[in-house]
Amino acid sequence: MILYILSIFLMLLVAPILLSYIKALKMVLLFKKPISLLQGYRTVAKLLRKETLLSKEASGVTRYAPFLVLSPLLVTLFFLPPVVQGAYYVSFVDAFTLTGLISLSTFFLMLLGLDSASAFGGIGSSREAFISALVEPAMVLTVFAVSMMAQDLGVGQAGVNLASSFPKMHMASFLFAAISFFILLLAENGRIPIDNPETHLELTMVHEAMTLDLSGVYLAMIESASAIKFLIFASLFASLFMPFGYNNAPPIAVIIFVCKLFAVATAVALIEVNTAKLRLFKVPNLLGIAIVFAFLSLITFYLLGA
Amino acid sequence: MMVFLLFLPALIIFALSFVRDVRAYKPLALSAFLILIPTVALLPVAKPYRLLGDYLVADALDVYVLLVSSIVGIGVALASMTLHKHVAISHAAYRRFYRFFALFWIGLILSILSNHMGLYWIGLELATLSTVYMIKTNRTAAAHKEAWNYMIVGAIAVSLILFGIILIYASAKPILGEEAMRFDLLILHARDIDASYLFEIGFAIATIGLFIKMGFFPMNLWLANIERASFYPVAALFSGILESAVMIGFFRFSKIAMQIDYDHLFGFIFIYTILTIFIVSFLIFRSKDFMRLFSLSGVEHMALIALFWVSGGSFAALLHFGAHAFLKPALFLSTGVLESQGKYKIAGALRGYSGKRGALFWFLVSLFLLALISLPPSPLFFSELYGFGAMIDTAKSSHHLLAMLGAIFLLLLLLSVIFYKFVELYQAMKYEGASHEKQVYAGELIALVLFACALMALLLPASLRYLRGVAL
Amino acid sequence: MVDFLMGLFLASLIVALFTTRLYRLLNWYAFNSMTLGLLALLIGTRLDDDAMLITGALTILLKAGVIPLFLKSISRRFRFIRQIQPEIKVHYAIILVPAILVFTFYLSEPITHMITHNSNYVAISISSLFLSLLLMMEHKNIAPKIIGFLSMENALFLLGITATDGMPMLVELGIFFDLLMAIVVINLLFHREQEEGA
């Protein structure tokens, strides 16, 4: 139990650092002076000190929504596969619950964008709805495929099974699922081929458009929500698709796990530096590839057993 | 020795094609006659005769197909002597045409005589790639486009064939080991193959590749377009030699498949060929120029041959095959003459040929046209008769006689559409339109006479007996 | 490990289907051939088959190195259109590709009962054959069609090394010979084209 609480605490701590790390790595690669890894904490601290202003048109939704954006993600954090051996974990949560919780958070984010009645908020919400509608089927398929390979529908149990006995004969479908999941990771977190987290250009922004009208505590909550969301995806990727290091002694296992998280973040940063953002209407193409791979992984698993 | 003799004429042509002197043109064409020596020498020897270990083995079927294709090769080489009088062609292009003709011939002799699936495929591929250049001899935009087309579609077809060959090999490897590439062993041990499903998939893919190469169902028009865009000898070579080599591959593969699951084979080929003939007959009805017309009718004949072969009428198939191989090149060559220097209309195409040569020419062309639509003395008439007979015989032993009769009725209906079109065409050529003075040259006339003689020789009792011997 | 490479092989082919730039397509083709060569080396060492080791090394050298670079240089010299938009829209391709895969996997499902080892690879190579046909069909330009033809050759090679535990040397060399011949023909066709245009 203590390991469980500690690992969740650790993940919460790592979450802002990961996003800052991506940003810093990108700046290094672009020959800029990188920001500090603690920039995420600083931003949150600064926002907490600032005054919270609300738009005149905003209704009660704006006041409640940030909590509802953050809380499903926090709950999801408790359902992730365990980091170290012997830690407590929730074994019964399956792909649907996980996807449902994440989309619940996205739903309130979209409501938040609409509520301020600004034009940008509407644009952002509609784009977000468009993208997440495409992400969800692929997400369910992918997580299902992996859970099938791990012979347990529960995601937590699947992670443990994969780490203890890796299904070598299903390597091909495992690979397809990994490709699909990585594309989803980019899409859900608004990383570069889908959305650029750094611009505030009205033509391109998705996530930022919804949070334009927020300030102070609410903005801090939304920011930390997006950090946690990235962490959720990264740790899912780390424990489902890179299932090694789990069986070591707890301190080493934790270090390996954190390294895996940073490896995922590095991959994301490299992709962000090397690709251009897709036009919004090209996004379905990329997500289509994700769906194809998710489906492919399921059918190779079922029909070929490979 | 025999192998060397077989490839000698092609090698001579290849070497002579580098000589820039105009005087070399005559021996260039005439050296094709040398192929008759080994071919005729192969006729009486005991079959199967090993030419080169287990790789090149001549059996009765091979020798027959080789004979047919040699006659076509000689005819085409002769008729190409006057190529520059009918179309605009530079000396360099003329020599290049012969050079790639030689390569093409080598490839096809290799695949006709091969007893090894891999070797068969290599020969076919060599022929395919050299054809790309033969098409390119014509320096027009259309020919260029069609050369690319041929490159792509031919490559697809050939790759499909290889794919099928690999699957067949995989299915037979457990019992035959590395020898599973040999046709004769495959036929002998076909019943022992455990992985019959694997074999059938391989057979189906290889057959589709072969059929695409002959212009069957999904790719009906590509061959017609290519033959239209290239010079007429290319079309003649296609129908006379290339299709022979492709067809012999089909004969071999289906012989193995017959022993594995006859019903599957029959159903597959039956549906495929009837679908092809259905589409092709209407395409023929709509087509408005000679080349396309003849090449589509070639597709129809090929479909009939495949159908006769699998329904047990191998004698009919071989007769049809021989007649087709002589008729089509003859018609393509005469089309080249009819269309000489780009002036041509269907109406009145056969008018204006005067003098002894002219009269002989139009007489021969009429003969070929009427033989093509299987009017009674034509070998095609007898082969169709025998073929349909064989189909009914096969159906008698099963319980779908009625379906077979219906299919034959449908086939006859479709053939009558083609018949109608050709009769109309012939009338237009002979009795309509204005007449201009036109020229025929000795080279092509000799070739046409050769084809006509070969066609008639097919009907001699001796050759029919020989064919029955081959069909066994 | 073999499964992993097999997955990479199929995955790179599928990604190539959705590519809209010529150079990236060439890169995917090179990657595809690379996995194929590694597969041949891996299976070759397992079977202790020298012929397969040689062909595997040749594959890596030629198909993953020389041919893509050569095609790149050709495309520079003859100024190919580098934006290659597939004719089949992505929305349809998304449905079509899984449909093809399901079809071919079902088609080869009985085979899995016949061959005891490497049975899945037959299914994967048949499906990659169909996918390369799709690659050829969905493009109007000549360059991606050539890539489609080359990946078809790769599918053939995959089938050759997996389904049969190695083809006779004659046939493998024949395949290589044919590939080189095809490349020469392609090159000459382009040259002729330029000559005629001038």
Task: Using a pLDDT cut of 90, give the percent of chain C over it.
Answer: 19
Of the two residues B345 and C158, the one the predictor is more confident about is: C158
B431 touches chain C (CB under 8 A): no
With beta carbons under 8 A apart, name residues in chain A contacting C1.
171
In this structure, are residues A116 and A215 in contact, taking their beta carbons and an 8 Å threshold? Answer: no
**CA B177/CA B333 separation, integer angstroms:** 46
**CA A72 to CA A249: how far, in whole Å?**
31
CB B125 within 8 A of CB B157: no
> Measured between beta carbons, which residues in chain B are less than 8 angstroms from residue C108?
201
* Chains in contact with C via at least 3 Cβ–Cβ pairs below 8 Å: A, B
Residue C196 has a pLDDT of 56
Q: Is A175 on the interface with C (CB under 8 A)?
A: yes
What are the structure tokens assigned to B202, written together? 């391989």
Residue of B nearest to C104 (CA): B201
Domain that holds residue A98: 2-304
Write the DSSP assignment of B55-122 as a string of letters: TEEE-HHHHHHHHHHHHHHHHHHHHGGGHHHHS---HHHHHHHHHHHHHHHHHHHHHHHB-BHHHHHH
- Alpha-carbon Rg for chain A, nearest whole angstrom, is 19
Q: Which residues contact B137 (CB under 8 A, 6 or more apart)?
A: B89, B93, B94, B96, B97, B100, B143, B230, B231, B234
* Buried b / exposed e along B158-188 (16+ C-beta atoms within 10 A): bbbbbbbbbbbbbbbbeebeebbbbbebbee
> Who among C160, C178, C185 is closest to B166 (CB)?
C160
Rounded to the nearest angstrom, the minimum Cα separation between A264 and chain C is 19
Per-residue pLDDT averaged across A261-278, rounded? 91
Asked if the model's pLDDT at residue A283 lies above 70, the reply is yes
A306 contacts on C by Cβ (under 8 Å): 3, 6-7, 120, 124
Binary contact (B136, C111; C-beta < 8 A): no
**How many domains is chain A partitioned into structurally?**
1
Specify the range with the lowest mean pLDDT, choosing from A25-29, B389-393, C143-147, C169-173. C169-173
CA distance B467 to chain C (A): 33
What pLDDT band is residue C115 in, cutting at 50, 70 and 90? low
Cβ neighbours of B178 in C, within 8 Å: 168
- Any alpha helices (H) in chain A, and if so which ranges? 2-29, 39-49, 60-79, 95-115, 119-149, 155-164, 171-188, 207-210, 216-241, 250-274, 283-299
**Identity (one letter) of the amino acid at A223?**
E
Look at residue C197 and tell me whether its pLDDT is greater than 70: no
Nearest chain C residue to B167 by CA: give it.
C163
Cα diameter, chain C: 59
Cis before residue B48, ω within 30 degrees of 0? Answer: yes
pLDDT reported for residue A29: 93
Chains A & C: contacts with CB separation below 8 Å: 74
CB-CB contact of B248 with B127 (8 Å):
no
**Domain spans, chain B:** 2-471
Residues forming beta bridges with residue B182, ordered by sequence position: B116
pLDDT at residue B235, rounded to an integer: 85
Q: List the single residue in A171, A291, A303 with the smallest CB-CB distance to C94.
A: A291
Q: What is the pLDDT of residue B342?
A: 60
Q: What are phi and psi of B51, to 5 degrees?
A: -85, -40
Q: How near does any CA of chain B get to the CA of C174, in Å?
A: 6
CA separation for the pair B268, B204 (Å, rounded): 8
The residue of chain B nearest to residue C146, with distances taken between CA atoms, is B152
Put simply, whether B212 touches C (Cβ < 8 Å) is no
For residues B105, B111, B112, B117, the Cα torsion angle rounded to the nearest 10 degrees is 180
CB contact under 8 A, C174 and B155: no
- Closest Cβ–Cβ partner in A289, A295, A304 for C18: A289
A and B adjacent (3 or more CB pairs under 8 angstroms)? no
Q: What is the pLDDT of residue A70?
A: 94
Burial tier of A216 (Cβ tally within 10 Å: 0-12, 13-18, 19+): middle
Q: Does B198 touch chain C (CB under 8 A)?
A: yes
For residues C153-176, average pLDDT: 79
Residues 6+ apart with CB under 8 A from B223: B214, B215, B238, B295, B298, B299
Which H/E stretch holds residue B231? none
| pLDDT at site A71 | 94
* Exposure b/e, C95-118, CB count within 10 A at least 16 = b: ebbbebbbebbebbeebbebbeeb
Q: In the prediction, which pLDDT does C198 show? A: 43
- pTM, to two decimals: 0.86
Residue-wise pLDDT for C11-59, tens only, equals: 999 999 988 889 999 999 999 999 999 988 998 888 888 888 888 888 8
Residues of C near A (CB-CB distance < 8 A)?
1, 3-4, 6-8, 10-11, 14-15, 18, 90-91, 93-94, 97-98, 101-102, 105-106, 109, 112, 120, 123-124
Interface test with A, best of C12, C39, C94, C106 (most A CBs within 10 A): C94
Give the residues of chain B that fall short of pLDDT 50: none
The ipTM is 0.89
Mutate one of C2, C3, C134 to test the A interface: name it (highest A CB count within 10 A).
Answer: C3
The closest alpha carbon to B422, from B378, B362, B372, B349, belongs to B372
**Measured between beta carbons, which residues in chain A are less than 8 angstroms from residue C8?**
175
Higher pLDDT, A70 or C161: A70
Q: Per-domain residue ranges for chain C?
A: 2-197
Structure tokens at C9: 């092989």
Average pLDDT over residues C59-79: 88
